[in-house]
Structure 1
């Protein structure tokens, strides 16, 4: 029985057992009342076994089932470096707090059974009574030798215990080696976990070992197998006449790619024209599905990876570079197979007609965001002369992008414009510069074009009623919106909610009102945190942040597996092959694809964030004692967070606020001196001095400097 079906049936059977009219009873009685044929009673037994294993039901010695008297909850344990932790139960919004004394040997990411215990506060509290399975089989850490044994200090600070390693299982590691250690014993109360070293990554001071440690910590697959490379050699052939046969030929259209200067996997190209008051926008996406066949070794590996991962010093691609940078990259002057979405758009930004087609293109010019921005925003005379044949199209692109953005804004689309960090490394992997990665007119052009193509494709397949993978963003949790509303009232702002829901336009209006105010950064971040995370789903429930009823990811099949899967569905539909058997196939496989890709995307995001945090720590570690000006970006009971112009954020701990006793006022997010009345609040400019950094915790400490 697949997991989705088991989950559905567990709910039905559990609800049935909880009805007092029908308990306790044997499986035979239950099957009769539920009208389950004898041949299918083994499935009922499977459900009952699962419910019993989770502690939700119990069975008597006479074989009668009933609801467990003290039902246990099953969830995933998230530990904290200070010993306590939380259990997250699927389907429940509130985590269960586990005090250090009630952890009972559970480790980070273990699946556990927890019993609720009386709590002194409002938060639910519990005790771990059984470890069902361990979430980690190995960890990355630093080896330290101690006499005739050694131990590994995990890099992941949520694993509070060192791992004991007998010398004969140390693989010759020496002090300071970064290692991968595999658990041989998970320990028990009073006894540490034990392990054996399975890989030495290098010394912690060796170039690149720091990022490699994060790669291993997140279990990111790096190398491709020989089997994969052999398959790539067979499929990565130049485009032939046979390949072009039956495809729409768009090679005569003036076509460009617009990407970052260092981009190598160019998977989207655009063409724009205008006739009779209507814009004609062509978004051409690399036809990766032509080279990566379903169920092939390439396809299995791509699904295993789910997405390309962009770390500060390397890219871990979803597909081998021979594909992503080669035949699937829309390189200038070369015939390339594409899947095109050609849209006719009116002056208000409405798509009045469109066509999806398998196509062939030949890019006329590979452009960069920097150059296109200088042309459309600054009208740089030298660049305008160099690209004179393309300038009219670039200006038309900006005109259309402005129209599309205005329409999106009109319906309530939310635009969070936080500066991302760009980290510049030297040849040894040391950070030499950190600066904000700025969006400009050119990046917005491509963003707007990709968004409208994604919406158009999603809407088309929703109304075709064909199984599909949507990109969804559910409405925020009403309680979080209520907390946000209460908080912003302190600053004189409010948001209108209709019952439990809020329209995205309300949040968009709030972000407009706070532009260029001291509290802009904080309220923007709190607004973002009040929203749920976008994910992949087979259900088209809309995208709250974009205020879009239909949305999908169609535009990056080189680096995202859901896009590749969508391309297959589109191609089969265009070719008239989407028959009942194929519909059933996709109905069966897509739910797991959506779930797995959502999970792998979260893993990639976390790994990317950790590498950036690490490099920021390393950058500031060479600037201890130096002074900078920054803005207070957060106020907590523990101290003040200060963000510098280069996006680096550090903390002034409350103990570093001298000359007074400071009190934290949560309702206004202020820190106020009891005797002096000195007030520190969000958005306030302060001068700081760097006092320390911690590579493992990835934290930076500041103190206030004299003005």
Structure 2
């Protein structure tokens, strides 16, 4: 087919698709028959169709049918990258749509866009698309570092996903100087070859001023810090101590030994424990602060708590969901104070089965405010002085250890998965500079509280599922089987296998983690297993929790810091006081889907902000260790480099351009970086020694290079170049 014939056919096909008002999208074969194209030329027809889709003349649906671009386009949120390309996330789609830089259509990061599919998903290659319209600019303000020129300035965004700087005219700079962290309002989103424009609306401080780094992240995520005056006024109606009238009608637990167990610096104590033994087993009381007694539905306090969704625990501060008068005061289960609680009292046999339970409004008074450290000293270290200090409670702590072990064993028998990756603990000086970064390991005390909270959450969720009352559940859906199949194929290289069918049972992944425990490949396979799983979220449907292997699960135990817990407390209390009438039943049916969606979003925002503040302090910490060498493990790979995690949990990147013995390519199927010429490989989970060569506080990045010893000792495996071809 010559060029003239090709253009003629393109025009004919485009007219067929675009001019027919009642056109129903057809597959390639149907178009070929309609145009009387012989079978021998249908390969050329496919090229024509691909060309029309690529230039946006027609569109192709997810199911592979062609039609008008508007008819086949889907709507989603565009996420850009510093390299120019991006992805569109569509509700209900398992995978994002890849957008090449030339196909972004001028869309800005977080824009709501209309996109057509240009290439369907094939094997490991993801679906590709072209943005044909920007429906809404959702990001209107951003935080960055101001760079001043003689007559104008630029703001370099802190968000590494935004590939362009924001141009700021001098008269709209508020007098910002070089190095100032600022909030800029976008006034023009720019176009190809032209930067977006904006005006500075807030100067946070200089990049080197104490606290500016974290405050910049707070502003970037639009985290509400100060409570509105109206909320503070409302607090005057809330007493400092529990009124005697409010104690009436509650189950009184004040004569039962009661403790809280938290970290040393915790101030919002929202759960307390009672535990007694009997012939049949144990009676465990999980007593949760009755926050909903003070934060009533639709009050100004409730609306502010809903807006925040969750407390945010940053490296140098806590941004609470509720004002301190509540979170550290009357709602906090402080030692020696009468407090209102909503309690789940469970009878548990010696095998860990909950054989009976009661959910009720209670009155408690905590005997001792315990710390994880001191409980460990009692149960593990057997420290005499601490045992003597709490001698009247020692039998209860020993029972706690026994029961937690029973519950943990039962949970693992059913297939619950435990990823024991350490969390990060960053110790700061008085000016907010990092003194130490280290892993925060769980001990026996943290595991005791973890097991007790889990069993309470499961018990409450199962109770309300069977009552068929509108409720909020904490759901963790089954993994995408395509990702599990990839994991299965990969672990076969190490001699491991998992049984897969239409779906996978969590016990299969748990057994895998047990098999790899202590092996060289443990880190590698554990990380890949975690990445194959979905993210937990709040839902109105009880779909279970895959990671916990639990049929029923909710968040009941932290209403001071999580709105979903506060929401279900209201439902529980309303149900306890005579049940939900039809109007209230419908009220919650209508309300809860939006609550689930909003609180899942605010939780993710909090997680991202917490991770970013940790990153910025890690970068600052590593600035003091420039040129030093550290042992680490390759924790991630991309085409442009390898991420290496140190024992302290700090992560940095070894750029592929720094690998000095030739050209390396990323072998995605084997999670390896392979030298094209020599066959030398670096793989996920491999131990390496690296040197710190650069840090960037603005981008929050740490650059490593492999140490001289890595090259001299030749620790990396070599294989024939043909092995990966």
Q: TM-score, normalised by structure 2?
A: 0.86
Q: Is the aligned partner of 1:460 residue 2:494? A: no
Which of 71-80 and 88-97 deviates more? 88-97
- 1:178-577 counterparts in 2 under 5 A? 178-497=181-500, 499-577=501-579
Q: Is the 8 A contact 1:151 1:162 kept in 2?
A: yes
- 1:164-183 counterparts in 2 under 5 A? 164-183=167-186
CA distance in 2, matches of 1:137, 1:681: 41
Q: Is the 8 A contact 2:145 2:698 kept in 1?
A: no
Q: 616, 620, 623: which is aligned to 1:621?
A: 623
How many residue pairs align between the two structures?
649
Q: Is the 8 A contact 1:490 1:667 kept in 2?
A: no
Q: Once the 2 structures are TM-superposed, how far is the Cα of residue 176 of structure 1 from its aligned partner?
A: 1.2
Q: Once the 2 structures are TM-superposed, how far is the Cα of residue 188 of structure 1 from its aligned partner?
A: 2.6
CA distance in 1, matches of 2:23, 2:570: 44
Q: Is the 8 A contact 1:264 1:329 kept in 2?
A: yes
Q: Deviations over 1:406-445 (max 9, x none)?
A: 1100110111110010011111111110000010000000
Cα distance change on mapping 1:199 and 1:594 into 2, 3 Å: same
CA distance in 1, matches of 2:666, 2:162: 30
CA distance in 1, matches of 2:160, 2:644: 23
CA distance in 1, matches of 2:352, 2:622: 46
DSSP 3-state at the match of 1:390: helix
Q: Is the aligned partner of 1:109 residue 2:110? A: yes
Q: Once the 2 structures are TM-superposed, how far is the Cα of residue 673 of structure 1 from its aligned partner?
A: 5.0
Cα distance change on mapping 1:213 and 1:357 into 2, 3 Å: same
Gaps (5+ residues) in structure 2?
1-21, 26-58, 62-66, 710-725
Q: Is the 8 A contact 1:651 1:700 kept in 2?
A: yes
Q: Once the 2 structures are TM-superposed, how far is the Cα of residue 67 of structure 1 from its aligned partner?
A: 8.1
Q: Is the 8 A contact 2:121 2:127 kept in 1?
A: no
* 1:81 aligned residue: 82
DSSP 3-state at the match of 2:403: helix
Q: Once the 2 structures are TM-superposed, how far is the Cα of residue 638 of structure 1 from its aligned partner?
A: 3.3
DSSP 3-state at the match of 2:391: coil
Q: 610, 613, 619: which is aligned to 2:612?
A: 610
CA distance in 1, matches of 2:183, 2:386: 51
* 1:43 aligned residue: none
RMSD across aligned C-alpha pairs, in angstroms? Answer: 2.1
Q: Once the 2 structures are TM-superposed, how far is the Cα of residue 664 of structure 1 from its aligned partner?
A: 4.5
CA distance in 2, matches of 1:419, 1:511: 16
Q: Is the 8 A contact 2:147 2:177 kept in 1?
A: yes
CA distance in 2, matches of 1:183, 1:614: 25
Cα distance change on mapping 1:676 and 1:96 into 2, 3 Å: closer
* 2:10 aligned residue: none
Q: Is the 8 A contact 2:60 2:116 kept in 1?
A: no
DSSP 3-state at the match of 1:222: coil
CA distance in 1, matches of 2:567, 2:672: 49
Q: Is the 8 A contact 1:148 1:166 kept in 2?
A: yes
CA distance in 1, matches of 2:681, 2:431: 43
DSSP 3-state at the match of 1:383: helix
* 1:694 aligned residue: 696
Q: Once the 2 structures are TM-superposed, how far is the Cα of residue 71 of structure 1 from its aligned partner?
A: 2.1
Q: Is the 8 A contact 2:60 2:117 kept in 1?
A: no
Q: TM-score, normalised by structure 1?
A: 0.88
CA distance in 2, matches of 1:676, 1:481: 32
Which of 691-700 and 356-365 deviates more? 691-700
Q: Once the 2 structures are TM-superposed, how far is the Cα of residue 668 of structure 1 from its aligned partner?
A: 3.7
Q: Is the 8 A contact 1:476 1:531 kept in 2?
A: yes
Q: Deviations over 1:653-700 (max 9, x none)?
A: 223222455455444434455666654444443322111112232221
CA distance in 2, matches of 1:652, 1:191: 33
- 1:15-94 counterparts in 2 under 5 A? 71-94=72-95
